[in-house]
């Protein structure tokens, strides 16, 4: 199987170490986070911790697509991280990506980045309203999202687990992760507000985010809230419909 890798210039001297952890990924490293879809592991590189994401082997159609027509998730993650850095947007330091393929099919890929020692993610804001300065953090997150939109960054996976938050005594810092689905283009009003649809089911949080986004954009609060809440409800309905369908399929298969 053919190996291909791209490594950031400042980490080229660490190539033997990076090669070794990719070769021994299955037996080395410390598992981190949710392992359901893809596998994440932590490794120690001198005095820093690095995060290695192993993307599962795609289905046959995508093995052909990634081989001949599309960039892999690992490549996109690496390139988008570097692009976010040029915009001054927080994301873990990209280090490298690795790909493995046969003459006709794409197989495995890995994305390597620095590990961020965050204090929480946006998800915790949706489950614990007793977090100190909860509303201030939520408003700062909304300003961060407005900055993304204003710079023409459309983060398609803008969901609860994909923004890491450092509290820094009130100087909140935000880092985007899971970067393989992004667009870079001017965003119209509807696209901007729809980008909030996957973040929370709580109307009170949507009210706060709508208020802060109105302050940032100069748009009418009611216009923002009505669209943001309707898109949130639409996403939830679609999500739960999908869950119900999966349960029915599982029942039919086991019957």
Q: Which residues of the chain have pLDDT under 50?
A: none
**Do 63 and 125 fall within a single domain?**
no
Q: Is 249 a member of any domain?
A: no
**Is residue 124 domain-shared with residue 224, that is, in the same domain?**
yes
Are residues 98 and 165 both part of a single domain? no
Assigned token pair, 109: 């890929």
CA–CA separation, 221 vs 93, rounded Å? 36
The pLDDT value given to residue 103: 92
CB burial of residue 49 (10 Å; 0-12, 13-18, 19+):
middle
The answer to whether 71 touches 58, Cβ cutoff 8 Å, is no
Query: Cβ(114)–Cβ(48) under 8 Å?
Result: yes
Residue 246 is assigned to a structural domain of this protein: no
DSSP notation for 123-177: HHHHH-TTSTTHHHHHHHHHHHHHHHHHTTEEETT--GGGEEEE-GGG--EEEE-
Question: Where residue 148 sits, what CATH number does that domain have?
Answer: 1.10.510
DSSP state for residue 33 in the 8-state scheme: S
- CATH code: domain of residue 12: 3.30.200
Instruction: Provide the domain count of the chain.
Output: 2
Asked whether residue 248 is assigned to any structural domain, the reply reads: no
Smallest Cα–Cα separation from 163: which of 193, 149, 142, 190? 142
- Is the residue at 11 inside a domain? yes
How many whole angstroms separate alpha carbon 214 and alpha carbon 41? 40
Sign of CA dihedral 220, 225, 226, 230: positive
Cβ 225 vs Cβ 215: under 8 Å: no
- Decide if 109 is inside a domain: yes
- What domain range includes position 35? 2-114
53-59 contacts at long range (C-beta below 8 A, 24 or more positions apart)? 53/77, 53/110, 53/111, 53/112, 53/113, 54/25, 54/108, 54/109, 54/110, 55/108, 55/109, 55/110, 55/111, 57/107, 57/108, 58/106
Q: What pLDDT score was predicted for residue 178? A: 94
In a domain? residue 252 = no
pLDDT at 247: 64
The reported pLDDT for the residue numbered 239 is 77
- Which of 201, 190, 209, 204 has its CA nearest to residue 234? 201
User: Distance between CA atoms of 110 and 38, rounded to whole angstroms?
Assistant: 10
First to last CA, the chain: 41
> Of 162, 143, 180, nearest to 58 (Cα)?
180
- Both 166 and 88 in one domain: the answer is no
- Single out the residue in 114, 141, 159 at which a domain terminates: 114
Give CA–CA dist 83/89, Å, rounded. 9
pTM of the predicted protein model: 0.90
């Amino acid at each position: 199987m053919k190996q291909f890798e791209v490594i950031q210039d400042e980490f080229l001297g660490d190539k033997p170490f990076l090669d070794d952890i990719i070769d021994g990924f299955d037996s080395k490293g410390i598992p981190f986070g949710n392992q359901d879809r893809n596998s994440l592991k932590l490794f120690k590189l001198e005095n820093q911790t690095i995060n290695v994401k192993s993307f599962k082997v795609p289905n046959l159609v995508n093995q052909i697509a990634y081989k001949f027509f599309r960039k892999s998730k690992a490549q996109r993650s690496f390139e988008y991280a570097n692009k976010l850095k040029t915009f001054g947007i927080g994301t873990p330091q990209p280090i490298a990506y690795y790909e493995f393929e046969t003459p006709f099919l794409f197989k495995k890929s890995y994305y390597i980045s620095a590990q961020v020692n965050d204090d929480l993610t946006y998800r915790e804001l949706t489950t614990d309203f007793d977090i100190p300065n909860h509303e201030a953090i939520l408003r700062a997150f909304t300003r961060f999202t407005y900055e993304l939109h204003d710079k023409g960054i459309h983060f398609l996976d803008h969901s609860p687990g994909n923004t890491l938050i450092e509290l820094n005594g009130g100087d909140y810092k935000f880092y985007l992760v899971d970067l393989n689905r992004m667009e870079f283009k001017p965003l119209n009003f509807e696209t901007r507000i729809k980008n909030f649809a996957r973040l929370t089911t709580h109307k009170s949080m949507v009210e706060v985010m709508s208020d802060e986004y109105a302050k940032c954009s100069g748009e009418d609060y009611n216009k923002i809230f009505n669209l943001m809440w309707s898109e949130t409800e639409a996403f939830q309905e679609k999500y739960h419909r999908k869950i119900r369908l999966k349960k029915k399929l599982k029942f039919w298969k086991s019957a």
